[in-house]
């Protein structure tokens, strides 16, 4: 059973470009979460999706950031017009059910560098 797959592992973008981060959850998991981690810092919740629905996006900046989890295909975290402050590791995680019953399984992350 393949784990959570994220790609790309590393992404370099120039200021003003768009970044698209992909995440395929574990087989059978319909809950997807995105977290951001700055160097030497903790995991900051961004958004929680469940097949075609955004359940909670309270941790996501209102501008430039969007996320989706279509019926078919991976979840996408999209960052428009990237700035240097967007440089971070972005982790996707999936779970079988709500987190109080099901632990999160994380992908290897996408390290975004904005130059």
Partner 1 sequence: GQQVMQIPQYQHVQEGEDFTTYCNSSTTLSNIQWYKQRPGGHPVFLIQLVKSGEVKKQKRLTFQFGEAKKNSSLHITATQTTDVGTYFCADPYGGSQGNLIFGKGTKLSVKP
Point out which residues bind partner 1 (CB under 8 A).
Answer: 33, 35, 40-43, 45, 48, 55-56, 58-59, 91, 93, 98-100, 103-109
Q: Which is nearer to partner 1, 25 or 109 (CB)?
A: 109
Give the whole-angstrom CA distance, residue 36 versus residue 71: 24
Q: Which is nearer to partner 1, 93 or 114 (CB)?
A: 93
97 cis-preceded (ω within 30 degrees of 0)? no
3-state secondary structure string, 7-48?
Answer: ECCEEEECCCCCEEEEEECCCCCCEEEEEEECCCCCEEEEEE
CB of 111 to partner 1, least distance (A): 10
CB of 50 to partner 1, least distance (A): 10
CB of 45 to partner 1, least distance (A): 6
Name every residue whose Cβ is closer than 8 Å to that of residue 16 and which is 6 or more positions away in sequence: 81, 82
Q: Which is nearer to partner 1, 13 or 95 (CB)?
A: 95
* Coil vs helix vs strand at 64: coil
CB of 76 to partner 1, least distance (A): 18
């Amino acid at each position: 059973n393949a784990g959570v797959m994220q790609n790309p592992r590393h992404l370099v973008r120039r200021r003003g470009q768009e970044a698209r981060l992909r995440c395929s959850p574990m087989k059978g998991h319909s809950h997807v979460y995105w977290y951001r981690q700055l160097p030497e810092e903790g995991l900051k919740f961004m958004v929680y999706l469940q097949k075609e629905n955004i359940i909670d996006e309270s941790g996501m900046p209102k501008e430039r950031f969007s996320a989706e989890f279509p019926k078919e295909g991976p979840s996408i975290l999209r960052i428009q017009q990237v700035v240097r402050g967007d440089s971070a590791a972005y982790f996707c995680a999936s779970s079988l059910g709500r987190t109080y019953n099901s632990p999160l399984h994380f992908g290897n992350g996408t390290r975004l560098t904005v130059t």
